Each structure stands twice: as structure tokens, then as C-alpha cells.
């Protein structure tokens, strides 16, 4: 178990990693499609994530067919995928994904879901199996490390889950893809973090014509 623990998110120029919170059943069900909250959330989310949609890796990973753009952004997205041996996510992120992911979920590795309610493992086509962990963030990380072997563990989100791992000093590095979008309001990545406990060092900065990828290592103070 020698891999790193990391996260990688897209962030708006004014510091938001997601639009304002809207229940998943409003955004991702047929009944909610006409709700103004759902339309607004999807429009903002699509604007925030627009850099990834044309990429060859994204299209192939989600089964949208061959072709697509290559270059720096595509290489960055593919690198995140290839280094990940297991993922950890919060239950709210899973609930939204269960409603919106294709049948072949886009992870292709074990995924450990933090939850307060038990559920049997959920195996999907393409190598993704969701495991539901009820005994805390450290337990989920330990199981993910064991499953990942020499590869890295990605803390997939959402923001609250990432914050828990950051605040416990369990993150080795992270990447922010900074987009030239202003959301005005939404979910901030670094809310509720004790900034006095962490030291960040920028290790990479890669800019394309669309976005800038910033990578930082994390150390405890």
C-alpha cells in the first residue's frame, strides 16, 4: 500500500466547485427536469465542466464513442483515471450518481461510499463495485488503500467528504482545474477547513487554452 491519497476537482474562478446544492431527486429524475432549480443547476454545472466534454478520454470512458480532442487537457484527465486504483465518496455524491451514471459507471475500480445505512456491495458492468462503509472516513480509506494496492486512492467528493480528509491530514496532494467561469454562489471547496493545520506547496501548473490545472502537495503543520 504505497500509493498516494489525492483529490482532483474543477473550480470556478470565484472559488466554487459546484453550484448551489439542489436535491439529487430534483436534478436527476424525469419528475424534476422541469423544476427551475434543476435547470439552473444543470446549466451552471455544464458551464463549469465544459472543458472535459470534448475530450477523447471522456467520450471513450463514458461510452460516447471514439474520437474527441487530444492534448494537455485530455492527458491530464487520462492521468487522473490511470493513477486511481480505488475511490472514496460521500453518500450524497453516490445518490446523485446512482441516478445519473450510465449502467457502466465511470470508475472501473472499487469505490467506497461513506454512509450511515448498510447496503450490500453493488457491482456494475466494467469493473466498478460500490462498497458501503458505515464506520468512518479512516476505515473507508484503509479499505480503499488495500483495494488500490500500489496505485493511488482518489477522494472523489463531494466537498464535505474532501474537507473531512483534508482536515484530518489524510490528503497527500490535490489538483484544481481552474475554469474561467463565475458561478456567483455555490459549494466552496475549502469551507470548514482548519487552515492553520495544513501547508501547501504548488508542484505543477499546466495551462491549456480553456483551463489551468494546478497541483499542490499537502503537509501537516
**What is the model's pLDDT at position 188?**
93
CATH number at residue 169: 3.40.430.10
The model's pTM is 0.92
**What is the model's pLDDT at position 106?**
86
- Helix 159-167, helix 137-148: angle, nearest 10: 90
**What is the model's pLDDT at position 34?**
84
Distance CA 66, CA 57 (A): 9
C-alpha grid cell, residue 153: 486512492
**What is the model's pLDDT at position 26?**
86
Distance CA 14, CA 16 (A): 6
Q: What is the number of structural domains in the chain?
A: 1
Distance CA 210, CA 6 (A): 23
C-alpha grid cell, residue 210: 480553456
Q: Write out the residue range of the structural domain in which residue 64 sits.
A: 5-220
pLDDT tens figures, 105-134 = 889 999 999 999 889 999 998 899 999 999
C-alpha grid cell, residue 180: 474561467
- What average pLDDT does the structure give for the chain? 92
**What is the model's pLDDT at position 175?**
97
What is the C-alpha R_g of the chain? 17
DSSP-derived secondary structure for 80-95 = HHHHEEEEEEEHHHHH
- Torsion, Cα 150 156 162 168, to 10 degrees, reads -20
| Residue 197 CA from chain centroid, whole number | 23
What parts of the chain have a pLDDT lower than 70?
1-2
**What is the model's pLDDT at position 1?**
52
Amino acid at each position: 500500500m504505497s500509493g498516494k491519497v489525492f483529490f482532483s476537482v474543477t473550480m470556478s474562478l470565484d472559488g466554487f466547485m459546484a453550484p448551489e446544492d439542489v436535491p439529487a431527486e430534483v436534478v436527476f429524475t424525469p419528475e424534476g427536469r422541469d423544476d427551475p432549480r434543476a435547470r439552473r443547476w444543470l446549466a451552471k454545472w455544464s458551464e463549469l465542466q465544459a472543458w472535459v466534454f470534448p475530450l477523447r478520454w471522456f467520450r471513450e470512458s463514458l461510452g460516447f464513442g471514439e474520437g474527441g480532442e487530444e492534448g494537455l487537457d485530455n492527458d491530464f484527465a487520462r492521468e487522473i483515471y490511470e493513477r486511481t486504483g480505488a475511490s472514496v465518496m460521500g453518500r450524497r455524491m453516490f445518490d446523485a450518481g446512482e441516478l445519473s451514471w450510465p449502467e457502466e459507471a465511470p470508475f472501473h475500480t472499487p469505490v467506497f461510499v461513506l454512509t450511515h445505512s448498510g447496503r450490500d456491495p453493488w457491482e456494475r458492468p466494467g469493473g466498478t463495485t460500490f462498497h458501503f462503509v458505515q464506520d468512518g472516513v479512516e476505515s473507508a480509506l484503509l479499505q480503499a488503500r488495500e483495494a488500490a494496492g500500489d496505485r493511488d486512492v482518489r477522494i472523489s467528493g463531494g466537498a464535505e467528504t474532501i474537507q473531512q480528509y483534508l482536515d484530518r491530514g489524510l490528503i497527500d496532494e490535490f489538483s484544481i482545474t481552474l475554469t474561467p467561469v463565475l458561478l456567483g454562489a455555490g459549494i466552496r471547496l475549502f469551507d470548514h477547513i482548519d487552515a492553520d493545520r495544513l501547508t501547501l506547496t504548488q508542484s505543477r501548473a499546466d495551462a491549456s487554452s480553456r483551463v489551468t490545472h494546478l497541483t499542490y502537495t499537502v503537509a501537516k503543520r
